[in-house]
Structure 1
């Protein structure tokens, strides 16, 4: 049932972006490419999806997406500031109108001082960047799937 809702959300986001002549890109840590994979399941996605960057390692977050190295060293990757920089980095690197980003802790162990289920998602566009902190439950797969659904849903809300 969850997969059907996700595909539906992805279809709606792709249609909305296409209707507005906008493009999208992703920067993913926690989800490891699942967001962009979900988007490209939609026929016609190639008209709006520019690409995605999977950045698990701190040095990749910094060197590829421009996340501040001092921020990563001081606070780790699981926070509001990092997810915002990831979303903006996706926009910049992929030259897209909208950037989606995910970071967090899917488990099995806590990370960066945060418990399992702590997730941050962000949506960046020409008007700025909005981010949200989530407290998700379930196993690793459930947390990652809920993150995909949430970031796509928040992008739909932001686009109005």
Structure 2
């Protein structure tokens, strides 16, 4: 099978959008990541998968702590800026949470401490302990079929006849 077919098949899985962020010598850096998942409740573990061609690959490979910000639907522009789909035209508002930067007003933010790294094909999987969490009201921004999407309450399966 070719790479395009694989990408198209993976695009059929709707995901949320996160920004993974670090403090790199007192400079906050972030990148858009949709390969994010919960691993375990006890201990509280998450995983993110980073492409070896990603601009922050080296920094993330060597970090011990990072933040994850789960974006709200009105934060789509931030996702595009961190994915380099749009030029940064304003200051990005980070806040410190348990010594790591996270996006201000995100739907949820997690402070993470790297537990393990696993090389998997052309990606690095960071498995991390969650050390702090904040949650805010709102709806998530989604990614499906190569496009940003939102949750539309009128389109829930339970509302269909």
TM-score normalized by structure 1?
0.25
Which structure exhibits the higher relative contact order, with contacts defined as CA atoms closer than 8 Å and separated by 6 or more residues? 2
- Higher strand fraction: Structure 1 or Structure 2? 2
Who wins on radius of gyration, i.e. which is larger? 2
Using structure 2 for the length normalisation, give the TM-score.
0.25
